[in-house]
Amino acid sequence: MKASLLKKLLTASAMLLIAWTVASADDAGLYAKPVDPNSSFVRIVDPQATSVVIAGLALNDLDQGLSPYVIVKPGEIEMSVGLEKATLSTEPGKYYTYARIADGRQKLYVDTVKDDPSKAQVYLYNLSDLPMADLFVPAAKTVALRNVAAGESGAVLLRAPLALSFAIQSDGRTVVETGTVDLKRRSGFSIVLTGSSGNYHAVAVENHLHQ
Indicate the domain borders of the chain.
Answer: 3-206
Quote the pTM value. 0.84
Q: Quick check: 23 pLDDT over 60?
A: no
How much of the chain, in percent, has pLDDT values that exceed 90?
73
- For residue range 117-135, list pLDDT tens digits in order: 999 999 999 999 999 999 9
Average pLDDT of the residues in 123-149: 97
- Give percent of the chain with pLDDT exceeding 70: 84
- The string of pLDDT tens digits covering residues 29-86 is 565 555 788 999 999 999 888 889 999 999 998 889 999 999 999 999 999 998 889 9
Mean pLDDT across the stretch 161-185?
97
For 25-86, give the secondary structure using H, E and C: HHHCCHHHCCCCCCCEEEEEECCCCCCEEECCEEECCCECCECCEEEECCEEEEEEECCEEE
pLDDT at 12: 37
Please state, in angstroms and rounded to a whole number, the distance separating the CA atoms of residues 199 and 94.
Answer: 33
Contact assessment for residue 60 and residue 51, using Cβ atoms and an 8 Å cutoff? yes
